Structure 1
Amino acid sequence: MAPAAERSAQGYDVIVIGSGAAGLTAACAAADGGARVLLLEGSDLIGGTTAVSGGMAWLPGAAEHGDDRAAASRYLDAAAPCPPSPARDAFLDHADVARRWLDARTSTKLAAVPSYPDYDPDLPGGTLRGRCFAALPFDGAELGAWFPRLRPPLPEFMLMGGMMVGRADLPHFQNVLRSPRSAARVASLVARYAFQRLRHRRGTTLFLGNALAGRLLKSALDLGVTIETGAIVSALLPGNGGVAGVEIAGGSAKTRTVAGKAVILASGGFSHDAELRRLHLPGAAQKVTANVASPGPTGARLAEPFGARIEAGHENRAFWVPGSTFSRADGTPGVFPHTVTDRGKPGLIAVDANGRRFVNEARSYHHFVMAMLEDAPTRTPAYLICDADFLWKYGLGRLRPFRLSTRSERRSGYLIQAGTIGELAQRLGLDIGALEATVADYNAGAEQGADPAFGRGGDAYQRHLGDGAHRPNPCIAPIRRAPFYAIAVQPADLGTAAGLRTDARGRVLDGPGTPVPGLYACGNDMNSVMAGFYPGPGITLGPALTFGYLAGRDAAAL
């Protein structure tokens, strides 16, 4: 294999910027189409936000799972209403095509999650299963020398310093002290992990987004994609009436420019661009992001000289999640995304600065933050409140279940503990009488498994988030056993929804709506086909895989 500098001088057919799901899929599709492909990643690690995510992809149209395009279209019309667009039509037309191509031509094997409802399943076209797909578990050891360069999951989602646990095995860890079968299963998993640690810095059995990123990386390597990390693209090169290559500010190659017939932008959106955040996101959501983006200019910045702009028509220009912030033991800042682990479980409420509930806590994380932003001065931060039983059984934020000590989190201020609800209100700076009345009102309904104020547990998605073993309502239980706990959550983004306008093939459009020759965008660099709505699990990764496939295939044809 030629040195990196020499390869750069040779030029490529397709250059991909970014190594999340969109970028890796685009690179695979272009290489599978016969193109010479260079993938440039600005950080030292491959995988982007995909690698630290839940890894689910919303891919409608799978007939073998009872879905079809017409039903998915009806659902999006109801749950994510926006004017008709060629890009949305292309997504509906090709989501299942892209999934089947990944299965047939790459190592990226996706399976339907047995039961995962759309976020508004009672709307027309909504479904309880069949649209949400996840990567099969993957052995990271198959990556060889590339495994240490795959971005690891968030530390808060691993056990024993580096062990991932699949969804199917979580109940065994929860029942390890009560079930001999679970104890045996956990012992087997821990033994496997210990063996893997003899050769690797973390466990090699990968799940969730780490499995998806690992499988896509393996696929790209198998297809002959050249990958460079630490390569920050500082500009796109003009030529042939459009884009003809990139300028690299750093990385392993000494050559500063690389020629290419097409460039695909998949840098992860503008979550880390302070100026673009000020222009496009609410003031209350400026400080916290759960997005892991590469350093260097965003795709939107790189495309500006060619007349492309961020499409700013969405009401919500990011995909929201409540996030709690903290510092890890090594001093690095952390953001815990409160997606599915705590808010919907029975025995937790969220209150505002007035000590009052303001939202159905079991709705999706995006809906939760939308409610925060409706009255940001009193709901930012908001406080998640629970009792000792809840904390032990379900955990809270970065605190896992069955924690014997919470001293470090209390000392850091991440977790607030009090002996009574009144004392908890005092420690949070809330009105004591208001919080006591809020908890009393909630408990009165919770004793009967009801939530008269917000209807929590009222649809299949909410019940899915709850505890299926808890009756009569899997999302409702009283808050009554001291001590009581609270953590603060802020509006955070998982990624940006506003992005570059593209056509049905992923080609970037300029101001008048003409494709810029040789320039494509996918992932969060592309304007979301969901128009700022969040109708189901994986509505960022589903379009990322689909338009990565479409853009890569089209670019290879050049």
Structure 2
Amino acid sequence: MHQALRDLRADYDLIVLGAGGAGMAAALFAALDGLRVLLVERTEYLGGTTAFSAATTWIPNTLHAGEGDSPAQAAEFLDHAVGNHASRALRQAFLEAGPQAIARLEAETEVKFRARPLHPDYIQEIPGATLRGRALEPLPFDGRRLGALFPLLRPPIPEFTILGGMMVDRDDIGHLLGLRKSWRSARHALGLLARHAADRLRHPRGTRLVMGNALVGRLLHELARRGVTILTETKTEALIREGGRVTGLQLRQHATQQQVGTRRGVVLATGGFGRHPARRAAMLHAPTPAHSPAAPGHTGEMHDLALAIGARYGEGGMDNAFWAPVSTRIRADGSTAVFPHFVLDRGKPGTVAVNAAGRRFVNEATSYHLFARAMFASHATVPTIPCFLIADAAALRKYGLGMVRPGGRGLAPYLADGYLVEAPSVPALAAKLGVDAEGLAQTVAAMNRYAETGEDPEFGRGSTAYHRANGDAAQRPNPNLGPIATPPFYALRLLPGDIGAATGLVTDADAQVLDEANRPIGGLYAVGNDMHSIMGGAYPGPGITIGPGITFGFLAARHAARGGQA
């Protein structure tokens, strides 16, 4: 139930700060255990960055896993991917509790998942990698079931919707593109369009929710069913302690201030340090990225309060953040669209990414995290921020490029504002971009040779199942390599964007925040990006933030429900 601060009870069993996926999951698990729960969100919307995302949830060996995996194989995979960059004990806790968390959601709530037939781990080259079963996705959800709560749901990134707020997932995109090619696709696509038309008569956007909005919508529906109290636009100004234990909070909602007590503790799920002005500059790579595609609530202010009472940040990770290349464009309302380039274009045939020397610096089909990290590494010697993602006309028509949708129509606005750069030849494109013309010509010529042979001797593009899954299966001999030969030629600028914090507060296996002496700070938990990532700054598979977020939300709630006993 959504309330105003002035109407709150004096105390609750558990208070969760932050209503992203991890925080909402922690609140739901606590409610399932019979606790009276308060969920506090500082922004006007619920869902955090989860609502923007695909909500892929990486948890091995759940009831959706099927055959071909085991706890030992998953542990071996993480040992190789993460190594000593994070606690093995916490990884083991995740592997044991994750399937329990999903099983409980599936059995007791309408938070439902499925595994896709092919959804590979990102790092296929190491032992223990799998092609399917670990990455779960939420089932679509009818937002109309939320009733008056629907407007609280954070809308998706507009550039990931069509027709004024219609959400589509990867299956929908395939059907929409194949509308004229098969009756099955036509029926699916026309059903979507009819539903959306009906929605727009009553709602400001579509109510058929997929991906992150589906997960958040399902969580919100269950929280409402169980009477969890929800506050939005509410800031935490102080942690209240008695006898060394967190026993309450000082909250502010607009002009109203109020203290609220808690019997079992506070769960920090505020999204990490990413938008903290001082820590952003100190903890992210230089040059400090100007843009993030993450939701706006992760100010890091709760870290200031936690560190002041003895909490500490984790150390030894490969990186302090998770990354994706992004492109930006000013919207009609003056806001900046920050578009993350996850899988839709970089690994497709007929594309290449280059630095200012016109040279490749990365396998374009690698994970978005590794792509952006390679930008920083290359920039140390050759200007690579921004880098340039280049496609020929055939590739742009077939796959789109960033915010430019497949089909090749409607390019004029993108060309007019400079988001998309067009030229009749490769040398002319180099001149427009300020890229070394000879270097770019040599790079494109090499890519055209690789398209013929099907092998990329420089970076191995198309050499793993993960690469190929994001290519074009119809392209031969390599689904990730195609000629860059059909004029005109196009490019857009990519920047590194942080998509979430990897460094966070040190916790134990029950998500209790630990002090400098490795002792739990009574009544204080951290989950999601507030918790130091069990992945140690590596990004080994899709959904490695949401999966642990849900799992440690489950563990924190269980620990609190047991009165602080493991």
Say whether the 8 Å CA contact 2:6–2:258 is kept in structure 1: no
Structure 2 unmatched runs, 5+? none
Alignment check: 8 A CA contact 1:395 1:402 kept: yes
Q: In 1, are the aligned partners of 2:77 and 2:128 still within 8 Å (CA)?
A: yes
Identity of aligned residues (%): 47
Residues of 1 paired with 2:365 and 2:419: CA distance?
A: 22
Q: Tell me what 1:374 maps to.
A: 377
Q: Within the alignment, does 1:534 sit opposite 2:536 as a pair?
A: no
Distance change (3 Å), C-alpha of 1:299 and 1:104: farther
Alpha carbons of structure 1 residues 3 and 441: separation in structure 2 relative to 1, 3 Å: closer
Query: Map of 1:140-539 to 2, 5 A cutoff?
Result: 140-251=143-254, 254-261=256-263, 262-294=265-297, 297-377=300-380, 378-539=383-544
Output the CA distance in 2 between the equivalents of 1:54 and 1:95: 19
Following superposition, the deviation at residue 224 of structure 1 comes to 1.2
Among residues 81, 84, 87, which one is paired with 2:83 in the alignment? 81
Question: Does 2:122 match 1:119?
Answer: yes
Secondary structure of residue in 2 paired with 1:513? coil
1:80 match: secondary structure: helix
Tell me if the contact between 1:229 and 1:251 (Cα under 8 Å) persists in the aligned partners: no
SS in 2 for 1:263: strand
Tell me the residue number matched to 2:562.
557
Determine the C-alpha separation between the residues in 2 that align with 1:422 and 1:59.
47
Contact 1:57 1:541 in 2 (8 A): yes
Q: Which moved more, 1:339-348 or 1:86-95?
A: 86-95
Structure 1: distance between partners of 2:507 and 2:275: 22
The two structures have a TM-score, normalised by structure 2, of 0.95
Q: CA deviation at 1:6?
A: 5.6
CA distance, structure 2, for counterparts of residue 284 and residue 125 of structure 1 = 35
Q: After TM superposition, give the deviation of residue 315 of structure 1 in Å.
A: 2.2
Matched, 1:90 2:85: no
SS of alignment partner, residue 495 of structure 1: strand
Q: Is the 8 A contact 2:273 2:298 kept in 1?
A: no
Structure 2: distance between partners of 1:432 and 1:354:
8
SS at match of 1:50: helix
Cα distance, 1:545 vs. partner? 0.6
Letter aligned with residue 260 of structure 1: T
Check 1:490–1:193 CA distance in 2 against 1; reply closer, same or farther (3 A cut). same
Offset, 1:370: 1.6
TM-score (norm 1): 0.97
Distance 1:41 1:420 in 2: 51
Q: Contact 2:347–2:471 at 8 Å: present in 1 too?
A: yes
Cα separation, 1, equivalents of 2:2 and 2:369: 47
Ranges in structure 1 where 5+ consecutive residues have no aligned partner: none
**1:58–1:536 CA contact under 8 A, matched in 2:** yes
* CA distance in 2 between partners of 1:496 and 1:3 (Å): 30
What's the counterpart of residue 51 of structure 2? 51
Q: Does 1:27 align with 2:27?
A: yes
- Rounded to whole Å, the distance in 2 between the matches of 1:300 and 1:61 is 33
For 1:46 and 1:300, how far apart are their aligned partners in 2?
20
> Cα distance, 1:240 vs. partner?
3.3
Question: What letter is aligned with 2:216?
Answer: A
Partners in 2 of 1:516 and 1:150 — Cα distance? 32
What are the superposed Cα offsets for residues 233-279 of structure 1, whole Å, 9 maximum, x if unpaired?
12211123121111112259x34211112100000011111211122
CA distance in 2, matches of 1:190, 1:181: 14
Partner amino acid, structure 2, of 1:25? A
Residues 58 and 385 (structure 1 numbering): CA distance in 2 closer, same or farther, change over 3 Å? same
Across the aligned residues of Structure 1 and Structure 2, the Cα RMSD in angstroms comes to 1.6
User: Residues 435, 503 of structure 1: CA spacing in aligned structure 2 closer, same or farther, 3 A cutoff?
Assistant: same
8 Å CA contact retained: 1:285, 1:492: no
Is residue 270–residue 298 contact of structure 2 (8 Å, CA) maintained in 1?
no
- The number of residues matched between the two structures is 557
CA drift of 1:5 comes to 4.4
The Cα of 1:423 is off from its aligned counterpart by 0.5
Of the structure 1 ranges 25-34 and 7-16, higher mean CA displacement relative to structure 2 is found in: 7-16
Is contact 1:468-1:474 (8 Å) kept? yes
| Amino acid in the other structure paired with 1:17 | L
**Cα 1:257–1:448 shift into 2, 3 Å:** same
**Farther-moved stretch of structure 1 (499-508 vs 200-209):** 200-209
* Cα distance change of structure 1 residues 3 and 332 upon mapping to structure 2, 3 Å threshold: closer
Distance 1:154 1:51 in 2: 9
Q: What's the CA shift for 1:295?
A: 6.3
Per-residue displacement from partner, 1:304-335 (whole Å, max 9, x unpaired)?
12111221321211111001111111111111
**Inter-CA distance 2–344: structure 2 relative to 1 (3 Å threshold):** closer
- Partners of 2:139 and 2:247 lie apart in 1 by 37
Cα deviation for residue 58 of structure 1 reads 0.4
Contact 2:274 2:298 (C-alpha < 8 Å) held by counterparts: no
Distance 2:23 2:217 in 1: 13
Q: Which runs of 4+ in 1 moved over 4 A?
A: none
The alpha carbon displacement at 1:3 in A equals 6.7
Q: Is the Cα contact below 8 Å between 2:289 and 2:498 reproduced in 1?
A: no
CA contact (8 A) 1:284 1:376 kept: no
Per the alignment, residue 13 of structure 2 pairs with: 13
* 1:135 aligned onto 2:138: yes
In the alignment, the residues of structure 1 paired with residue 12 and residue 74 of structure 2 have an alpha-carbon distance, to the nearest angstrom, of 38
Query: Cα gap change, 1:93/1:121 in structure 2, threshold over 3 Å: closer, same or farther?
Result: same
Q: Distance in 1 between matches of 2:425 and 2:393?
A: 11
- Match of 1:486, SS state, is strand
Specify the code of the residue in structure 2 equivalent to 1:20.
Answer: G
Counterpart CA distance in 1 for 2:223 and 2:201 is 27
**Deviation of the 1:454 alpha carbon:** 1.5
The AA in structure 2 aligned to 1:470 is: Q
Q: CA, structure 1 residues 467+12, in 2 after alignment: closer, same or farther (shift >3 Å)? A: same
Task: Verify the 8 A CA contact 1:388 1:485 in the aligned structure 2.
Answer: yes
Q: 1:192 to 1:170 in 2, by over 3 A?
A: same
CA contact (8 A) 2:178 2:185 kept: yes
Shift of 1:122: 3.3
* Counterpart in the other structure of 1:72: 74
Distance change in 2, residues 1:395/1:498 (3 Å): same
Q: Shift in Å at residue 169 of structure 1?
A: 2.3
Residue type matched to 2:489 in 1? Answer: F
